[in-house]
């Protein structure tokens, strides 16, 4: 299917939050144009606008970190929306095929990209580790498929082997080998146009009667290093940080204990001082916990046996 370049560029609605920042850097839709498959997904998303509103709110803890990473690696800003399609920005999401996390890594692919999976810790759920791995994977796919982002995205969904075989099949038949002409699985036929359609809606939400929850254009979390393992529930009690918030930022710890993990904890940056103050108070009172300073922007927390 050939893209329709006759349509005028979509109007970009200016916003001061992270949605405005990311949408101002979209490049794929303007390059590709619009076609029936994109318009079909656009209509589907508009009919399911509540999903977009809900997922946009769930993105708050993670989106700034993702956008920063994409910009640093000079990757398309549209990729920041992939977790909305993959997991609705839910790091605890598990698919029927056992894909896990924000970026929905399958076990083998996760292992290939350094995401350790044990009974205690699943790095596919680690917000930081999985995001870095997803960017490496997408970069490799982009290179593997000749710099074609649509083929790279199709391979992210269907697998690089599937896409490579379909390209070769079309080549043998003398058919075009671009994304739009491949006989891809139905899910993948919808997957790429849905991302492009979602980009259109994020760039012009009010024009399509879509509500995006405001997300501040600033870091949401900070990483603290642990000197010893801690229970998230215990840390919640002594830190003043709600247990659900700690779990949402640290879903890779399977049993709610940092044993077997990488030795760090993710906390809301707004709660860093509260955490340090409460831990220091507890340390002075019974000596069971202490904190020590390390390079700016991090803290070390140690539980004393």
Output the pLDDT for position 225.
83
Task: For residue 189, give its domain range.
Answer: 18-208
Element (H, E) at 156: helix 149-158
Active-site residue 86, yes or no?
Answer: yes
Assess if residue 260 is contained within a domain: yes
CB 289 within 8 A of CB 279: yes
Output the pLDDT for position 227.
76
Output the pLDDT for position 280.
60
Q: Check whether residue 257 and residue 172 sit in a common domain.
A: no
**Cα gap 59→212, rounded to integer Å:** 10
Q: Check whether residue 257 and residue 285 sit in a common domain.
A: yes
Q: What is the largest CA-CA distance in the chain?
A: 77
State the CATH number of the domain containing residue 117.
1.10.530.10
Output the pLDDT for position 1.
36
Name the 3-class secondary structure at 284: helix
Q: Check whether residue 184 and residue 42 sit in a common domain.
A: yes
**Cα gap 81→103, rounded to integer Å:** 10
Domain boundary residue among 208, 239, 269? 208
Assess if residue 85 is contained within a domain: yes
Q: What is the pLDDT along the chain (305 residues), one digit of tens a residue?
A: 333 323 334 455 667 899 999 999 999 988 888 899 999 999 999 999 999 999 999 999 999 999 999 999 999 999 999 999 999 999 999 999 999 999 999 999 999 999 999 999 999 999 999 999 999 999 999 999 999 999 999 999 999 999 999 999 999 999 999 999 999 999 999 999 999 999 999 999 999 999 999 999 999 999 988 877 888 998 888 888 899 999 999 999 999 999 999 988 899 998 888 777 766 655 554 433 333 333 334 444 444 34
Domain boundary residue among 208, 240, 258? 208
**Cα gap 204→206, rounded to integer Å:** 6
Q: Check whether residue 146 and residue 225 sit in a common domain.
A: no
The catalytically annotated residue of 86, 160, 245, 272 is: 86
Instruction: 148-155: list long-range contacts, CB under 8 Å, 24+ apart.
Output: 148/178, 148/179, 149/28, 149/76, 150/28, 150/32, 150/178, 150/179, 150/180, 150/192, 151/178, 151/179, 153/82, 153/191, 153/192, 153/195, 154/179, 154/182, 154/184, 154/188, 154/191, 154/192
Domain count, the chain: 2
**With 0-12 CB in 10 A as exposed, 13-18 as middle and 19+ as buried, what is 223?**
middle
Assess if residue 8 is contained within a domain: no
**With 0-12 CB in 10 A as exposed, 13-18 as middle and 19+ as buried, what is 187?**
exposed
Output the pLDDT for position 288.
38
Q: Check whether residue 145 and residue 52 sit in a common domain.
A: yes
CB 3 within 8 A of CB 32: yes
Assess if residue 10 is contained within a domain: no
Q: Check whether residue 192 and residue 279 sit in a common domain.
A: no
Helices (H) and strands (E) counted in the chain, each on its own, are: 14, 4
Q: Check whether residue 269 and residue 188 sit in a common domain.
A: no
Q: Check whether residue 267 and residue 201 sit in a common domain.
A: no
Q: Check whether residue 155 and residue 26 sit in a common domain.
A: yes
Residue spans of alpha helices (H) in 253-295: 272-286
pTM of the model: 0.88
């Amino acid at each position: 299917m050939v893209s329709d370049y006759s349509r005028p560029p979509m109007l970009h609605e200016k916003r001061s939050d992270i949605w405005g920042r990311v949408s101002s850097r979209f490049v794929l839709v303007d390059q590709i144009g619009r076609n029936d498959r994109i318009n079909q997904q656009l209509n589907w998303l508009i009919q399911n606008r509540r999903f977009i509103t809900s997922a946009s709110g769930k993105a708050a803890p993670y989106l700034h970190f993702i956008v920063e990473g994409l910009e640093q690696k000079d990757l398309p800003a549209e990729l920041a929306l992939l977790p909305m399609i993959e997991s609705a920005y839910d790091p605890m999401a598990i698919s029927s095929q056992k894909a896990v996390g924000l970026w929905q890594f399958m076990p083998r692919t996760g292992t290939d990209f350094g995401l350790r999976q044990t009974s205690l810790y699943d790095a596919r759920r680690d917000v930081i580790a999985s995001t870095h791995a997803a960017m490496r994977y997408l970069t490799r796919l982009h290179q593997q498929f000749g710099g074609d982002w649509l083929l790279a995205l199709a391979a992210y969904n269907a697998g690089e082997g599937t896409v490579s075989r379909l390209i070769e099949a079309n080549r043998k038949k003398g058919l075009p080998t671009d994304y739009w002409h491949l006989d891809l699985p139905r899910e993948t036929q919808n997957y790429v146009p849905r991302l492009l359609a979602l980009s259109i809606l994020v760039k012009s939400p009010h024009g399509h009667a879509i509500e995006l929850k405001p997300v501040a254009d600033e870091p949401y979390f900070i990483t603290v290093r642990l000197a010893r393992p801690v229970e998230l529930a215990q840390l919640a009690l002594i830190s003043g940080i709600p247990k659900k918030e700690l779990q949402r930022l640290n879903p890779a710890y399977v049993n709610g204990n940092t044993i077997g993990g990488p030795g760090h904890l993710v906390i809301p940056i707004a709660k860093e001082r509260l955490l340090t103050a409460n831990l220091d108070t507890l340390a002075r009172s019974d000596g069971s916990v202490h904190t020590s300073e390390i390079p700016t922007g991090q803290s070390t927390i140690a539980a004393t046996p």
